[in-house]
Amino acid sequence: MDRDTTTSEAALAGEPTRPDLSVSTRFQTSMRVKKRSGALEPVDIHKIVQAVDRCCAGLDAVDAVRVATRTISGLYDGATTQELDLLSIQTAAGLIAEEPQYSRLAARLLSTYVEAEVELSGVRSFSQSVAHGRALNLIHERLQAFVGAHAEELDAAIDRSRDLEFEYFGLRTVYDRYLLRHPQTRLVIETPQQFFMRIACALAESVAEARELYALLSALEYLPSSPTLFNSGTRHEQLASCFLLDSPRDQLSHIYQRYHDVAMLSKFSGGIGMAFHRVRSRGSLITVTNGISCGIVPWLKTLDASVAAVNQGGKRKGACCVYLESWHADIEAFLELRDNTGDEASRTHNLNLANWVPDLFMRRVEADAAWSLFDPKTVKDLPDLYGEAFEARYVEYEAAGLAVRTVPARDLYARMMRTLAQTGNGWMTFKDRCNTTCNQTGAPGRVVHLSNLCTEIVEVTAGDEVAVCNLGSINLGRHVNTCPDGQVAFDFEKLAQTVALAVRQLDRVIDLNYYSLPGARDSNVQWRPVGLGLMGLQDVFFQLGLSFDGGAARQLSRDISEAVYFHALTASCALARERGRHPTYEETRVARGELQFDAWGVTPSEPERWDRLRADIREHGLRNSLLVAIAPTATIAAIAGCYECIEPQVSNLFKRETLSGDFLQVNRYLVATLKRLGLWTEATRNQLKLAEGSVQQLEGLPEALKLVYRTAWELPMRSLVDMAAERGAYIDQSQSLNLFIESPSIGQLSSMYFYAWKRGLKTTYYLRSRPATRIAKATVDSTPTAEPIAPRAAVACSLENPESCEACQ
């Protein structure tokens, strides 16, 4: 690839202005760089310093000389100018853990680099970038027409200074994975700002709307989900994130039909949830051949391979979660699918697993009673029943002696907990709660059969219909105001505006979306569900100096969720007035006057505004059957530079592994606090590393701040469950709720998930735990006592054996 970029090229050409640098002359005498022309030129440290220095405006804590010298020390003789540029970016990024401002510097260096790369294709404006993309057959005709008609206005609306909003990780992610690339040269053909404008134009109906949406995206205040970011305005506008497929029927041909559906849906990105409740269990008679079935495991092994083969459009790995009801007779083998020992023929390393748990099972666990397992072939209607109807039929089947086996409910529950602890998988999702609170189950016969890949989508499926959802998330961290008097407060007005714009955009996606299966289109235009979510809740708490589970934070968290639900319904009602209600509106619970919090028995904080809204809805209906879903936001939170969804921070210092390499993150709020206290020193940094990112043992940090900067491992999980339940009254779909226990025991887990069920959570997501032994710290300067000798597991707190537990006493 023959290319050059501005930083080093300019560095080679520019005039040296800092003659007083005390830098080793080793580099200046021996190192040469290869220019684009192929000519070799000696490296001049001064010129490199200058180039870096140009990106340092307003960053008072970064040192351009340091970046330049470290860059050169990693260089080899004859390196290309491109390598030099990339190295300077990586060098700056390598200093982030020491000083978070280097993240901004690295982002600016990268921004310069990307702009230069785009210019290599002759692209100098937004409209040129779209035209070039169209010529390369990447861009949708509709977008090209829109942009062509309004080129001047749209080009003028691009604000390059918005690149300054990015942290390094965010911009790196955008550059590596989201910007459109030339099919052959793989050069990017749009800048980050042109990328945002492309999405805005693709999802808007007028220039004014496009500008509004662009302003929102480029300020990183709201971001649509990755499929929308990947594909908006392209020739295959598959913009939805989630697809839910009911179980294949108990027939060979239908199983493979479903696998074909999964592959087609994965191809254009999007995660899959698929139920398997209806497929017969091991030992069941196959009438046609008079053979005996091997159960669901061999089928899932096939699905596993298929999922691995189809990586989402070559952009990210395919992903699928299989749901199984807890009465299925293959449940134990199902729970072992992710084990890393045992027969490989019964292991599926690529599939995610979730339990679809009926209330009756949890009650039998509570009563320490027996639980019957059935072959779906003999209890065909169980997947389509919930609540009392399910319970009556289940008991009837038990009485009829149809059970394949009966086990103590607690034995099976313990196996579920073990799977969670050992693999993080086998998510607990609650069938009855999902059904009884779902807006789509207002009419008889409508049933939710599963949740999705990330357990935040709860939608009905019927036959070959595929439930679909497209998502977007509001960056709460960018909705905080500092008043002139220095008071920091959450900005509910701005939130209202963002929600209104976001719902409009999400609704538009339903009509634009490219559906690779007819069944997906049918269901989506009937129900028009969307999933508006949140991210950066932890950022809000840090900015306001709130402890994550303190009273003020809990109140704010509840208020935010109520506001999001309120304004989302308001926006959907306005859309219904404008464009009509969704076709199945009359079937919904909302049509009967029931909103989500009614199902939770919760009264909202401002009943008057809700009364007015109810009246509006009665008159106009809703455009969307479902509106709110809190997705995990892993990648888009990285782009926005905020903490993921509603999650507490995992560590004050951690690295993020992505396809673009490893990124180091340090809690910049903590760094600011420590700087204020004069504590941000190398000793502190080493202590943070040794303590796995915890500040609890940090000397000099006041106790109140230690509370604020707790990590997910240090928060009581009961609080997380409580906060999820309080929020849940305003979430008409669900939330991807991760739970964290460093070294879990069955007793802790069984209590925790039981509590989650009792509190009425619809779904839970990963159980996160930490490895039993650790990697030696390679870069921490150890003293003889600092290197941990005894493995951590040996001192782990054991609440079941308090007399033997020294850690708590």
Partner 1 sequence: MSHVHRPARLLEPGLCLTLRPMAYPVFFEMYRAAIKNTWTVEEVDFATDVADLRGRMSEAERHLVQRLVAFFATGDAIVANNVVLSLYRHINAPEARMYLSRQLYEEALHVQFYLTLLDTYVPDPEERHRAFAAIETIPSIRRKAEFCMRWLETVQGVDRLDSREDRRRFLLNLICFAACVEGLFFFGAFAYVYFLRSRGLLHGLAAGTNWVFRDESAHMRFAFEVVNTIRREEPSLFDASLEAEVQAMIAEAIDCETQFAEDLVGGGVAGLSVHDIRQYLEFCADQRLTTLGMARRYGVKNPLAFMELQDVQEVANFFERRVSAYQVGVTGQVVLDAAF
Q: Which residues pair with 316 in a beta bridge?
A: 312
d(CA 324, CA 248): 12
Asked if 185 and 242 touch (Cβ cutoff 8 Å), the reply is: no
Query: Looking at 86-94, 385-393, 582-590, 622-630, which segment touches partner 1 (CB under 8 A)?
Result: 86-94
Report DSSP state, residue 346.
Answer: G
Say which of 99, 165, 237, 456 is annotated catalytic. Answer: 456
Say which of 56, 454, 469, 573 is annotated catalytic. Answer: 454
Q: Burial level of 427, CB count in 10 A (0-12/13-18/19+)? A: buried
Contacts (CB under 8 A) with partner 1, residues 612-641: 634-635
* Residue 446, phi-psi category: left (phi > 0), alpha (psi -120 to 50), beta (remainder): beta
Binder of partner 1 out of 291, 545, 661, 702 (CB under 8 A): 661
Q: Which residues contact 101 (CB under 8 A, 6 or more apart)?
A: 59, 60, 61, 62
Residue 161 CB, nearest distance to partner 1 (Å)? 28
- The residue with tokens 């420590």 is 674
Binder of partner 1 out of 91, 101, 128, 673 (CB under 8 A): 91
Residue 731 CB, nearest distance to partner 1 (Å)? 22
Query: Looking at 88-96, 159-167, 483-491, 529-537, which segment touches partner 1 (CB under 8 A)?
Result: 88-96
d(CA 13, CA 64): 18
Angle, vertex CA 165, rays to CA 199 and CA 241, nearest 5: 35
Residue 454 appears among annotated catalytic residues: yes
Provide the Cα torsion 93, 96, 100, 106; round to 10°.
Answer: -10
Residue 219 CB, nearest distance to partner 1 (Å)? 24
Q: How far is CA 323 from the centre of its chain?
A: 20
Binder of partner 1 out of 49, 51, 56, 84 (CB under 8 A): 84
Residue 289 CB, nearest distance to partner 1 (Å)? 32
Binder of partner 1 out of 352, 435, 451, 570 (CB under 8 A): 352
Asked if 278 and 249 touch (Cβ cutoff 8 Å), the reply is: yes
State yes or no: residue 78 binds partner 1 (CB under 8 A).
yes
Q: Which of 479, 533, 553 is nearest to 722 (CA)?
A: 553
State yes or no: residue 75 binds partner 1 (CB under 8 A).
yes
Residue 336 appears among annotated catalytic residues: no
State yes or no: residue 40 binds partner 1 (CB under 8 A).
no
Say which of 231, 355, 439, 452 is annotated catalytic. Answer: 452
Judged by beta carbon, residue 288 or residue 778, the one nearer partner 1 is 778
Contact string (CB under 8 A) for partner 1, positions 92-111, x = contact: --xx-x--------------
- # chain residues binding partner 1, by CB under 8 A: 103
Element (H, E) at 499: helix 492-512
Residue 70 CB, nearest distance to partner 1 (Å)? 8
Judged by beta carbon, residue 443 or residue 772, the one nearer partner 1 is 772
Residue 278 has phi, psi (to 5 degrees) of -95, -5
Amino acid at 698: L
State yes or no: residue 804 binds partner 1 (CB under 8 A).
no
Contacts (CB under 8 A) with partner 1, residues 725-784: 741, 743-752, 754-755, 766, 768-784
Q: Which of 388, 524, 381, 357 is nearest to 451 (CA)?
A: 357
d(CA 716, CA 693): 17
Binder of partner 1 out of 308, 333, 496, 805 (CB under 8 A): 308
Contacts (CB under 8 A) with partner 1, residues 691-710: 692-693
Judged by beta carbon, residue 446 or residue 759, the one nearer partner 1 is 759
State yes or no: residue 658 binds partner 1 (CB under 8 A).
yes
State yes or no: residue 317 binds partner 1 (CB under 8 A).
yes
Query: Looking at 58-66, 113-121, 428-436, 715-723, which segment touches partner 1 (CB under 8 A)?
Result: 715-723
Element (H, E) at 663: strand 661-666
Q: How far is CA 203 from CA 147, 667, 768, in A?
A: 12, 34, 36
Contacts (CB under 8 A) with partner 1, residues 235-294: 271
Residue 481 appears among annotated catalytic residues: no
Active-site residues, by number, are 452, 454, 456
